[in-house]
């Protein structure tokens, strides 16, 4: 058997299959297509609404933008604190390290169409010197599950507010009721899947069921030893949504001038924002989508469509600001690690 350089070369993995290159090319094309489509939608919505009216509304916000940016930072702090509660006691991850990882992960999820597939690995990467990969993955799985439960609750509250306060047609009320039931059913199905109901007689579990089982074991194992921490993390996520509602309420108050928004309007806008964030995460910065849906939903809530579009644009400024901060955190890492 040959043991020379030719044999060593023959044992090296082939790099000519083109698979990594083709995957990267497809991702770049997807990012470009989503960005261009969102940008075109953004331009269309802004021109249809009226550039001058939008600029006038944003001008009313003025220095209020500083408060909006501060609320955005406070919400990151809450998510970082919730993550630390999902770590085993004695973990070496400090609050500052968790916060930096969360801001950077959010930026990675915003600038690419990968969402969680980009944001969560970024958090794991940035905390690799302080946490074992197993600890990072398990704690993030627990935290994301708790946050998902809070999102479902926020969306359900928004649907209830719509049914209680918005004059809808009979068909509209049926659709809203069906959406509410669907959210509750989806939550129930997710809980059942996490309980690990797979029958061994059916053979080997699918890979996605294996991943769910791993999440279930992480949650169950952590909750048995630290049940109080999970409830505290859930409470922090609820405050996260409350601050988002406050941000929208204040922004609408500045945008509407003499007209004062209602708490119900702010809740519905935030519930819509949660749905858009989940469904359209593949669109970088959700450009165009936020503005189009905000302008479309505003009349239903007795709000000027211009205010709905302007609200989305102000939120976009906040996202861009913190994304720049997050990308700066990533760029500060050693070049080899990047």
Q: Above 70 in pLDDT, residue 205?
A: no
- On whether the CB atoms of residues 194 and 221 are closer than 8 A, the answer is no
pLDDT confidence of residue 139: 84
Domain-embedded: residue 294: yes
- For the segment 144-149, the average pLDDT, to the nearest whole number, is 87
Domain housing 81 = 22-331
pLDDT, one tens digit per residue, over 34-60 is 778 878 888 888 888 888 888 888 888
Say yes or no to pLDDT of 228 above 80: no
The verdict on residue 2 lying in a domain is: no
Q: Is residue 281 part of a domain?
A: yes
Write the Ramachandran bin of 205: left for phi over 0, alpha for psi from -120 to 50, otherwise beta. beta
Q: Is residue 221 part of a domain?
A: yes
Structural domains counted in the chain: 1
Alpha-carbon distance values, 240 to 203, 281, 306 (Å): 42, 19, 27
Q: Distance between CA atoms of 338 and 332, rounded to whole angstroms?
A: 9
In a domain, 4, yes or no: no
Site of tokens 């992480």: 218
Q: Rounded mean pLDDT of the chain?
A: 80
Give the model's confidence band at 9: pLDDT under 50 very low, under 70 low, under 90 confident, else very high. very low
Asked, for residue 12, whether it belongs to a domain, the answer is: no
Is 300 a domain residue?
yes
Q: What's the pLDDT tens digit per position in 309-337?
A: 999 999 999 999 999 999 999 988 765 44
Judge whether 155 lies within some domain.
yes
């Amino acid at each position: 058997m040959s043991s020379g350089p030719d044999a060593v070369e023959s044992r090296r993995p082939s790099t000519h299959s083109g698979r990594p290159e083709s995957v990267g090319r497809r991702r770049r094309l997807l990012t470009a297509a989503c960005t261009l489509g969102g940008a075109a939608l953004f331009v269309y919505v802004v021109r249809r609404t009226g550039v001058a009216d939008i600029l006038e509304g944003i001008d009313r916000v003025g220095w209020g933008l500083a408060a909006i940016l501060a609320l955005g930072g406070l919400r990151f702090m809450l998510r970082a604190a919730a993550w630390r509660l999902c770590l085993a006691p004695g973990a070496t991850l400090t609050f500052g390290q968790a916060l930096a990882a969360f801001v950077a992960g959010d930026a990675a999820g915003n600038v690419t169409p990968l969402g969680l597939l980009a944001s969560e690995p970024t958090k794991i990467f940035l905390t690799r010197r302080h946490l074992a990969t197993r600890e990072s993955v398990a704690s993030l799985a627990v935290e994301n599950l708790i946050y998902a439960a809070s999102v479902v609750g926020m969306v359900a509250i928004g649907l209830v507010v719509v049914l209680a306060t918005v004059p809808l047609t009979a068909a509209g009320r049926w659709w809203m009721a069906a959406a509410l039931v669907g959210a509750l059913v989806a939550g129930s199905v997710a809980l059942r899947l996490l309980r690990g109901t797979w029958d061994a007689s059916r053979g080997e579990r699918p890979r996605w069921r294996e991943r769910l089982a791993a999440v279930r074991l992480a949650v169950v194992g952590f909750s048995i030893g630290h049940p109080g921490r999970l409830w505290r993390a859930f409470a922090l996520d609820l405050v996260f949504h409350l601050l988002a509602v406050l941000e929208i309420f204040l922004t609408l108050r500045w945008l509407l001038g003499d007209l004062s928004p209602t708490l119900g309007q702010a809740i519905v806008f935030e519930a819509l924002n949660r749905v858009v964030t989940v469904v359209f995460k593949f669109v970088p910065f959700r450009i165009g989508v936020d503005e189009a849906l905000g302008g479309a939903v505003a009349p239903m809530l007795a709000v000027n469509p211009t205010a709905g579009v302007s609200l989305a644009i102000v939120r976009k400024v906040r996202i861009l600001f913190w994304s720049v901060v997050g990308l700066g955190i990533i760029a500060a890492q050693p070049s080899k690690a990047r």
